[in-house]
Structure 1
């Protein structure tokens, strides 16, 4: 089974909100997933910050067992600090 870390779209029309999920590569974009590892809101807030929260430990685990990040998720991980390991927030810190 090929596993990917990718974005699942939620929210309403013209106001997307994404869950960062680990899913089978053959499943639908918003279909069944194995685990939710984070959230991403691409619409900037008033202070021009985009909201991104994820569980660093679980992403490291899935990458270590061979899960491949999709292109958008790989770009998000790279923007945070250039590597997959430098992640600023975790879901555990936010409750």
Structure 2
């Protein structure tokens, strides 16, 4: 059983309210959950203490036993002060190849250093 920490939507139309729940990843969004570990009210003021409440000790426990937080829950955990390592790292960012430096790269047969020094547009 793969366990995830995610949001379950409550509230009515145009007035969302979310619970932060620990649930089986195959269960429905608002279906059966294992434990409620907090809540999030996006309509409350940003400084209002009722906007976000998370039981950090319980979240730390679930993360230690292998629960995977969703992206939105990772953001909420970061806001509440818990550092969570992202699953996939930075998405959409190319990591530089360590074998090639910026000066060794060539663009259409011209070295990158020459392009920058004479101001050519690539």
Counterparts of 1:73 and 1:56, CA distance in 2: 12
- Give the drift of 1:54: 1.2
Paired residue for 1:31? 31
Farther-moved stretch of structure 1 (71-80 vs 3-12): 71-80
Runs of 4+ in 1 over 6 A off after TM superposition: none
Q: Which has the higher strand share?
A: 1
**1:37-69 superposed Cα distances (whole Å, 9 cap, x missing partner):** 001001133xx4361011111101000000000
Paired residue for 2:47? 49
- Give the drift of 1:82: 6.0
**Structure 2 residues not aligned, in runs of 5+:** 85-122
Paired residue for 1:88? none
**Structure 1 residues not aligned, in runs of 5+:** 85-95
CA contact (8 A) 2:54 2:80 kept: no
Paired residue for 1:40? 40
Paired residue for 1:14? 14
- Give the drift of 1:75: 1.0
Of the two, which has the highest radius of gyration?
2
Counterparts of 1:54 and 1:23, CA distance in 2: 16
The size of the alignment, in residue pairs, is 82
Higher relative contact order (CA 8 A, sep 6+): 1
3-state SS of the aligned residue for 1:7?
Answer: strand
Counterparts of 1:57 and 1:81, CA distance in 2: 12
